[in-house]
Amino acid sequence: MKRIRFLSLLAFVWILVFSAGCAAGREDMSMPPSTMEPASPSGIVMSDLMIQSFIIAGVVFVIVESLLLVAVFRHRHRGVEPLKASELPPQTEGHNLLESAWTIAPAIVLAIVFYLSIIAYQAVEDVPLFANTGQSQDEPVNIRVVGYQFWWEFEYPELGISTANEYHVPVNTIVTLSIESRDVIHSYWVPRLGRKVDGIPGHVNHTWFKALEPGEYVGECAELCGEQHAHMRFKVIVDSPEDFQKWVAAQQAPAPEMTGAAAAGEEIFLQGACRACHTINGTEANGRAGPDLTHIGSRSTIAGGMMDNTAENMAKWLSDPQRIKPGNKMPNLGLTDDQINSLVKFMQNLK
């Protein structure tokens, strides 16, 4: 009877411990993206490895803690008097079999985890060769990712496109990324699509992914890189092949002719300090310190994913970038309200 009571107590403890980690299905998209909801082959490999490791660790934990609880409850001292030497349980110091067992058992467990990790590492690292996989005859999309304090540049060398803070790829297509930095160490990370890869000044790192579902995938900088590290987010937008082609065509087009207030904004842009840091294809602005703005109007966010790309937010940003995002590289240009309004019109027309 006592034994059954003890075993049910033990079972109850484990149910409590393991249910503490469970949460109901997540509906809220504002929650941080999770590596446990992978959307790429390498993401699935990493998520599986995490689950395997957790199960192994869980089994070890239950065995060790159960033995501990059994020892504590079965062999607890019931009296008030201290134990005499003759009442002590048999002492097992220097027990060869026990010592060997608890040395070999963890070594085997660690060897299994090591083996699983190596297999997963290879699957994540090796870019599948198209000729060998037969999965896709499409050419891979190659993208150069450059981290800056505090935003991301995405360049498609073969397509002649340069964009910032969000980029598009076609679904079910291999995307290769070469990742660099222009200033300090950043770390590129899209939790649902793959592993973290550092962007290091003077060094190029490589990785790849293949998105299995169209949609938007949030990424962030995963290496403390300065005051605005937390505001260095970006989006990967996974399109159908047709939508991706449309996006490419739109991005390759030069900036359109401007009229009215937008034309006034363009003039301010080209005559002021803006052009020293920003590029707009088809104009004389070819600065490289800040994001390419040729199609800024087509992007969903500004300021490194900090704000939605609305007229109101753009005006706020232009009026004092340092107040919105202290420590970023864009100075306060002392623009008047009229100048800001014209510039906002111009930006919005750069679709």
Nearer to ligand CUA, 187 or 251 (CB): 187
Q: What residues line the site for ligand CUA (CB under 6 A)?
A: 147, 150, 186, 221, 223-225, 229, 232
Smallest distance, Å, CB 339 to ligand CUA?
31
Cβ closest to ligand CUA, residue 225 vs residue 296: 225
C-beta of 145 vs 225, nearer to ligand CUA: 225
Q: For the chain, how are helix, strand and coil distributed in percent, rounded to 5? A: 40, 20, 40
Q: How far apart are CA 193 and CA 214, in angstroms?
A: 12
Residue closer to ligand CUA (CB basis): 141 or 145: 145
Give the shortest CB-335-to-ligand CUA separation in angstroms.
27
Least distance in angstroms from the C-beta of 232 to ligand CUA? 4
Q: Are 210 and 41 in contact (CB under 8 A)?
A: yes
Q: Which amino acid is at 277?
A: C
Q: Distances from the Cα of 184 to the Cαs of 143, 199, 257, 330, in angstroms?
A: 20, 8, 38, 17
Give the residue with the Cβ less far from ligand CUA, 225 or 343. 225
CB of 118 to ligand CUA, least distance (A): 29
DSSP state of 29: T
What is residue 313's three-state secondary structure?
helix
Q: Tell me whether residue 7 or residue 204 sits nearer to ligand CUA (CB atom).
A: 204
**Shortest separation between residue 326's beta carbon and ligand CUA, angstroms:** 15
Report how far apart, in Å, the C-alpha atoms of 104 and of each of 30, 97, 161 are: 46, 10, 56
Q: How far is the CB of 225 from ligand CUA (least distance, A)?
A: 3
Is the Cβ of residue 147 or residue 291 nearer to ligand CUA in the bound state?
147
CA–CA gap between residue 30 and residue 318 (Å, rounded): 27
C-alpha torsion angle, residues 43, 49, 53, 59 (rounded to 10): 110
The CB-of-108 to ligand CUA minimum distance in angstroms stands at 40
- Cα atoms found within 13 Å of the Cα of residue 132, Cβ hemisphere only: 4
Q: Is the dihedral of CA 197, 200, 205, 209 positive or negative?
A: positive
Bridge pairing between strands 234-239 and 197-199? unpaired
